[in-house]
Structure 1
Amino acid sequence: MTAFVLVSDTFTGGWVWEETAALLRAAGAEAYPVTLTGMGDRRAEAGPGTGLETHIEELVGLVDGITAAEVVLVGHGYGLYPVFGAADRRAGRVARIVSVDTGPPGPGETAVRSVPDPEVRELLAGRPDAPVPPPAPGTWSRWGSVEGVPAEALVRLESEAAPQPAGTLTEPLRLTGAAAALPTTGVLCAANGQSIAMVEMAVASGPPQFRVFTEERFRFFELATGHWPMLSVPAELAEVLLSAAAGEGHRATPPEGDGHEQPSHLLPFLLDVPERPRERVGRVDLHLPDAEGPRPAIVFVHGGPIAVDQRPTPRDTPFFLGYGRYAASMGAVGVTVDHRLHGLADYARAADDLAEAVELVRADPRVDGERIALWFFSTGGPLAADWLAAPPPWLRCVAATYPALAPLPGWESVEPRFRPVDTVGTADGPPVVLTRAGLEHPVFTATVEAFLTAAKERGAHVEVVDAPHGHHAFELVDPTDESRAVVARSMRAVLARLGD
């Protein structure tokens, strides 16, 4: 027999699993919906010492009392942190870990790093012992899509939510590695922006942590719902959990012919460009050209979300070092910025960081402040919306390379203002240089096509540069002559708009 231990996300308790647990029991399994100390209807039990370690010890005690042959630990959101901690200490008793709409945490990580609400991260940064109040009614989507949740369940979610003990989010997860080889299943909620297609995309061209998902021990399922499948589709979730326990599910595989030993974001830039003097001011790096007098500047804008502790940060990767140096070698000041897009709710903060960086650059006496271009990459694309909606006269060009030009499916926590498809052509703005990857992921392609349609209808000028055989991040993963020519053409197009 299989026993499922069901651990819920922040602010909630075991009640969210009621329907799913009943269906698991009806199928012949054991089910243990857990309400941890200080959460849900146990809120009164929280004390100054209540933290992640408290919750791990509770789960360990529960696992020790289960007599079923197989134990499957299921974590949803924050619940995955104590699940991993308990699995590490009882690896011999745990048959599988199931992650519901949440990425697996690593050793030493704190749950606050994956909190989607920037206000909560600020609260805990200033007051690390302060309990975190639950979302106000009507704002739960900041913590994950509520698509599909029945109205009565949403009311209960709001009314029974309890403040989250601060220590559960700020204590680092201590792992010995004992559970590192345990089979793990990811249940992805498509309406919350998670999907098998996105996993495959991340494996192919994303940060290095995604490559682990190609290992034999990982399997994936996808549900067409929001972040709370136990409330929106409890029957489908129960079926998925039973299938996961049986070892079923989709396996992610590296793309054919992928011979890269390094993570894609650390692969060398495809052009051999000479180093230029680089100056760092706060979040901004300036790559300086060998030229007299004030020069135009190109500000390169990375995507995300980027983990708070990711190293190297974007501006120190070969990719942005390459673009910054390339711009400088062509006579412009190449500017790279580490903005704080650490979660989907951070676009406003990242936009503020970008605006601050641009003003710093324009004030530099080596920069011609009347000739500025902004160049957005990948999921940095939504940050172009503000500049297209209200373009200043000194903004001579907006460039975008394999961009998302609207929030991707399920990105409900991204504010509506970050939709370049809605702002292009609504003001008398600068021309756009749009570089497309011919082998792009469909979710990105859909936003680009919508953008081009809107631009045509509104009379906006867009120059399209195509990389017919290029994938997302083709500068790194497809270092071909075609890709080099595309990068050169895009750079020339931007410089032409700067009058250089």
Structure 2
Amino acid sequence: MAVFVLVSGPFTGGWVWQEVVERLRASGAEAYAVTLSGMVPGTEAGSVRAGEVDLEAHVEDVVRVIDGIEAPELVLVGHDYGIHPVLGAADRRPDRCGRVVYLDAGMPADGDPAAASLPDGSVAASADGLVPAPSGGQWERWGSTAGLSAEALERLDRLAVAQPVRTLTQPLRLTGSPFDRPTTGVLCTANGSGISMVEMLVASGPPRFRVLAGPRVGFFELDTGHWPMLSAPGPLADVLLRAAADEGTRLAVAESAPPPAHAGSFLLDVPRRPRVRRGRVDLHLPEAEEPRPAVLFVHGGPVSPEQRPTPRESATFLGYGGHAAALGLVGATLDHRLYGLGDYPRAAGDVAEAVELVRADPRVDGERIALWFFSAGGLLAADWLAAPPPWLRCVALTYPVLAPPPDWRAVPARFDPAGAVGASSPPVVLTRAGLEHPVFQATVDAFRTAADRSGATVDLIDVPLAHHGFETLDHTEETRAAVRRAARAVRRYVTE
């Protein structure tokens, strides 16, 4: 039978696994719940050696537990923050780790601190180096409390201890890939994660997610919130046993699926126009003697800082910039620094800086500007919808994300276009892909509801048979017509 080592998330200890351990042992498995250094309930504010406890100390805690177990091969389970010490221990004892289970956890790599998954990538600690434990409604910042009874929430409040801040800020150090061994992801759907979201990340997200479609990676869903060991201990124990037996859903998306034959070209034939580079911004120039209105195209993400070609050098944005120039507008493209979900404030600053650079160019009519956002770059539209300057004539949105999905906790609350749109917002040109990822489609639906309620102007362009990122995936007459229609609408708003 399987042997499990269970490591919990922040502010909790081995006690949180009590019901799960009982069920695993009743099935004949061995189970060891780890209480990490400084996380013992009832100690003085959880502050045992608080100034000295860091992520490395917690990795060593898990290594010691592994070394004390006779079974040759173990299943290491990391919940939330717990995946960091689990991966660190698996890296140090690779011969003992038969499987890693990510329980509603992120996907950290070498060099990533746990705090990177939080809003602004930061945590507030007291002078003694501790992050105070949440209570009541404060737990929602760390994950959905859906499914927790009042008794379970009271138990969390009563037994939680402060988290040593260095456990959250010290980078994880790994010598190999976390996916060099069998891996299982257990996704808590009430917290916003699901297999469809993972499939979307593999199909449309940064390349690092493609490993999730590997043959040794499986997935389970639990219909509960972020603390399934308290809200659903029986189903969680069953899933862990099935994971140890190498069950779980394998993704249908092939890890190395070849790109479409047209991936290196834009879906429209665009005449070549002069292109001028200004730092992170390129200007695609029309044939005009006088200053012309401009449209700034804002790519999605997160993207890797090493991605080549960069977004503005990709066929998609070279095409959009050139098409704008062919319509008599200055087409501006940029590379902003949305490298992770916590980078939205920095990316927003890059966009604002790019706007000012574009407006200041003598070839641009600075009083007639449009902003055009794509994919998860759509969240960057929130500031411009909430407080539009007089020169912003319209906002275009193409297969956008228009509210942070539930498990994107690292995104600050400010980046919520569905909450920002109102009667004073500039006209919106919204291109909606009919085959959109369900999680993203829900944010578009929320935006439409808010816009209708407030009386905002929205030009809706539906593309029923198009996928997210259709410029790469779907070169059809339908998608070509949609791009032309959206571009003409933007031109109308900036020139009238």
TM-score between both structures, scaled by the size of structure 2: 0.85
* 2:341 equivalent to 1:338: no
Instruction: Give the residue type in structure 2 aligned to 1:26.
Output: A
- Residues 272-317 of structure 1: per-residue CA shift (max 9 Å, x gap): 6547434344xx413241543433222223334556x564565555
Aligned length: 487
Using the alignment, how far apart are the partners of 1:180 and 1:241 within structure 2?
18
User: Identity percentage over the alignment?
Assistant: 53
* 2:133 equivalent to 1:145: no
Residue of structure 2 equivalent to 1:189: 188
Q: List aligned pairs for 1:474-489, cutoff 5 A.
A: 474-489=470-485
Residue of structure 1 equivalent to 2:441: 445
Using the alignment, how far apart are the partners of 1:430 and 1:239 within structure 2?
52
Residue of structure 2 equivalent to 1:498: 494
Classify 1:19/1:142 alpha carbon distance in 2 versus 1 (closer, same or farther; 3 Å).
same
Using the alignment, how far apart are the partners of 2:98 and 2:255 within structure 1?
31
Q: What is the deviation of 1:373?
A: 0.9
- Residues 457-480 of structure 1: per-residue CA shift (max 9 Å, x gap): 554432222333211111112234
Classify 1:473/1:69 alpha carbon distance in 2 versus 1 (closer, same or farther; 3 Å).
same
Residue of structure 1 equivalent to 2:11: 11
Instruction: Give the residue type in structure 2 aligned to 1:289.
Output: L
Q: List aligned pairs for 1:456-467, cutoff 5 A.
A: 456=452, 458-467=454-463
Q: List aligned pairs for 1:167-186, cutoff 5 A.
A: 169-177=169-177, 180-186=179-185
Secondary structure at the counterpart of residue 431 of structure 2: strand
Residue of structure 2 equivalent to 1:110: 112
Q: What is the deviation of 1:438?
A: 2.2
Instruction: Give the residue type in structure 2 aligned to 1:13.
Output: G
Residue of structure 2 equivalent to 1:404: 401
* 2:77 equivalent to 1:74: yes
Q: Which runs of 5+ in 1 are unaligned?
A: none
Secondary structure at the counterpart of residue 300 of structure 1: strand
Using the alignment, how far apart are the partners of 1:62 and 1:245 within structure 2?
19
Classify 1:386/1:72 alpha carbon distance in 2 versus 1 (closer, same or farther; 3 Å).
same
Secondary structure at the counterpart of residue 107 of structure 2: coil
Query: For the aligned residues, what is the CA RMSD?
Result: 3.5
Residue of structure 1 equivalent to 2:36: 36
Instruction: Give the residue type in structure 1 aligned to 2:374.
Output: F
Instruction: Give the residue type in structure 2 aligned to 1:433.
Output: V
Instruction: Give the residue type in structure 2 aligned to 1:114.
Output: A
Q: List aligned pairs for 1:57-456, cutoff 5 A.
A: 57-68=60-71, 70-106=73-109, 108-112=110-114, 114-118=116-120, 120=122, 131=129, 133-134=131-132, 136-137=134-135, 138-158=137-157, 160-166=160-166, 169-177=169-177, 180-254=179-253, 258-260=257-259, 269-271=266-268, 273=270, 274=272, 276-281=274-279, 284-290=280-286, 291-305=288-302, 311=307, 314-315=311-312, 317-330=314-327, 331-336=329-334, 338-340=336-338, 342-343=340-341, 350-351=347-348, 354-411=351-408, 418-424=415-421, 426-456=422-452
Using the alignment, how far apart are the partners of 2:466 and 2:426 within structure 1?
27
Using the alignment, how far apart are the partners of 2:114 and 2:311 within structure 1?
21
Q: What is the deviation of 1:98?
A: 0.3
Q: Which runs of 5+ in 2 are unaligned?
A: none
Using the alignment, how far apart are the partners of 1:206 and 1:55 within structure 2?
31
TM-score between both structures, scaled by the size of structure 1: 0.84
Q: What is the deviation of 1:380?
A: 2.8
Q: What is the deviation of 1:195?
A: 0.5
Residue of structure 2 equivalent to 1:26: 26
* Conservation of the 8 A alpha-carbon contact between 1:6 and 1:74: yes
Q: What is the deviation of 1:216?
A: 1.2
Out of 465, 471, 478, which is 1:469 matched to? 465
- Residues 471-492 of structure 1: per-residue CA shift (max 9 Å, x gap): 1111112234543343233222
Using the alignment, how far apart are the partners of 2:148 and 2:213 within structure 1?
32
Using the alignment, how far apart are the partners of 1:17 and 1:296 within structure 2?
60
* Conservation of the 8 A alpha-carbon contact between 1:300 and 1:337: no
Instruction: Give the residue type in structure 1 aligned to 2:466.
Output: G
Classify 1:44/1:384 alpha carbon distance in 2 versus 1 (closer, same or farther; 3 Å).
closer
Using the alignment, how far apart are the partners of 2:60 and 2:489 within structure 1?
59
Instruction: Give the residue type in structure 2 aligned to 1:22.
Output: E
Q: What is the deviation of 1:203?
A: 1.9
Q: What is the deviation of 1:418?
A: 4.7
Q: What is the deviation of 1:82?
A: 2.1
Using the alignment, how far apart are the partners of 2:406 and 2:107 within structure 1?
21
Q: What is the deviation of 1:351?
A: 4.6
Using the alignment, how far apart are the partners of 2:128 and 2:140 within structure 1?
22
- Residues 188-228 of structure 1: per-residue CA shift (max 9 Å, x gap): 11122210111112222222122211211111011122222
Using the alignment, how far apart are the partners of 2:10 and 2:274 within structure 1?
48
Instruction: Give the residue type in structure 2 aligned to 1:391.
Output: P
Secondary structure at the counterpart of residue 498 of structure 1: helix
Using the alignment, how far apart are the partners of 2:403 and 2:47 within structure 1?
43
Classify 1:445/1:306 alpha carbon distance in 2 versus 1 (closer, same or farther; 3 Å).
same
Q: What is the deviation of 1:34?
A: 1.0
Instruction: Give the residue type in structure 1 aligned to 2:221.
Output: E
Instruction: Give the residue type in structure 2 aligned to 1:397.
Output: C
